Amino acid sequence: MKLKAFVYLLAVLLLALPVIAQEPPKEEQPPATTQTEEPPAEATQTEAAPPPEAPAEDESMNRQSFEETFAELLSTVDTMNKLKVSGYIQAQYVNDERSVNELTNPTTTKNLDQFSIRRGRVKFTYQFSNTSRFVIQPDITTSGVVLKDGYVEYIEQWTPWHHTLTAGQFNWPFGFEIGYSSSQREMPERSRVIRTLFPGERDRGVQLSGLGMLEKFKYQVAIVNGTGTNQSFDFNKRKDLVGRVGYTFGPLDAGASVYRGSDLVATATNPKGIEFDKERQGVDFQWFTPIEGLGIRGEYITGKQAPNPGSTRKESFDVKGWYFYAIQNIGVRHQLVLRVDDYDGNTDVKNDAVRTIGGSYIFHWDGNSKVMLAYEQPKNQINDPDDNVWTIRYQYSF
């Protein structure tokens, strides 16, 4: 609105300039004469003749040209008002105990201690009307440029639910942490169970969603390829179904999610591939506790996960995992965070789960930037390697 007001003020000033700049005509003084002296008739007629006026046609053409230019300017401003640009960048240093000071080949290394740009995202949202929306978000990092989000949305306006149809590449509608923005998350990366079962957090397909019952109930259901975004095609003909429903009980949000699909995997006995069941079901919650500044959240997931290519298995693994956060805000600038997560990649085998205990301190430098210092200590139940990780990250968002 401020931009429009400025444009209108500019137009008024430009219209007024010709009037302000125009000098008023000088009043001619009659020559000094006596009562008995009369000017010649010819001179009297000459003095009485009015001064020549500028052609009205030129002034009309100038005004018309200005009005056309002003209309184009207003159209450009109106278009820009419909475009929203946001984004963030994360610069970080990681110290990982797994680092080895050696090369694996002339272009790669086992060293994991690195300065890097973990995420560099710019999100463009264009909404011409209340019934449709266009979104695209590239991620520009030290590893290259990839597309994170790219979709169109159609939003109905006939019911309070505003049911929305989304088509393209978007987050899997499962649980809480998948859709929780990396710019807001209190630990450097998502929990192990999410990273394993939902790598990349996104897929391609169509989704129907809505928000109703006084904006307390939300549903999302999608049909997707099931292969994520690491490749540009789907291995099998079958498409996967995924969805979540959630309800807000005042300070408590709770949700339930389900995923049904399959993976086509080449095995040692069948290089053309066998379809393995891919299932997930989970529950999640987020609670703003009565203790000032303290919030907790958690998620529990069970399901079936296909084996890696080349395996001799003929059925999927039974898997399970969970995470728990405790987040304490201290004033408006400080946060203390504790996270515990656990993932068991085969519940039929004992002592093969990985539990990670981690925490972070976050200092909000100002409204746009923050600094995070985080530590994570994964613990394997057997054969636990040295793989603790320190991360220091600076983030700026707009």
What is the DSSP track for 334-394?
EEEEEEEEEEES-TTSTT--EEEEEEEEEEE-SSSEEEEEEEEEEEESSS-----EEEEEE
Q: Which of 287, 369, 281, 290 is nearest to 324 (CA)?
A: 287
Dihedrals phi, psi of 194, to nearest 5 degrees: -70, -45
In sequence order, what are the beta bridge partners of 95?
A: 390
Position 159 scores a pLDDT of: 96
Q: Supply 79's token pair.
A: 């278009």
> What is d(CA 107, CA 397) in angstroms, rounded to the nearest whole number?
33
Distances (CA, A) of 73 to 78, 159, 384: 9, 36, 65
- Segments of the chain with pLDDT less than 70: 1-59, 76, 78
Residues 18-58 pLDDT 10s: 444 444 545 545 444 444 444 444 444 445 555 555 556 66
| Element at 261 (helix H, strand E) | strand 252-265
pTM score over 0.85: no
**To 10 degrees, what angle do helices 2-21 and 56-81 make?**
170
> What is d(CA 268, CA 264) in angstroms, rounded to the nearest whole number?
13
Q: Which residues contact 104 (CB under 8 A, 6 or more apart)?
A: 110
Dihedrals phi, psi of 195, to nearest 5 degrees: -65, -30
DSSP 3-state helix, strand, coil percentages of the chain (rounded to 5)?
A: 15, 50, 35
> What is d(CA 176, CA 170) in angstroms, rounded to the nearest whole number?
14
Q: Cα 388 from chain centroid? A: 30
Q: Which residues contact 207 (CB under 8 A, 6 or more apart)?
A: 165, 166, 167, 170, 173, 220, 221, 222, 223
Phi-psi category of residue 237: left, alpha or beta, with phi > 0 → left and psi -120 to 50 → alpha:
alpha
Q: Which of 130, 165, 167 is nearest to 151 (CA)?
A: 167
Q: Is 52 exposed, middle or buried (0-12, 13-18, 19+ CB in 10 A)?
A: exposed
Q: Supply 143's token pair.
A: 């590893």
Residues 328 and 361: beta-carbon distance below 8 Å: no
In sequence order, what are the beta bridge partners of 245?
A: 219, 256
Q: Supply 301's token pair.
A: 């997931």
**Domains of the chain in sequence order:** 1-11+61-81 (no CATH), 82-397 (2.40.160.10)
Tokens 């008739």 label which residue? 41
Position 65 scores a pLDDT of: 73
> What is d(CA 185, CA 309) in angstroms, rounded to the nearest whole number?
33
> What is d(CA 140, CA 241) in angstroms, rounded to the nearest whole number?
30
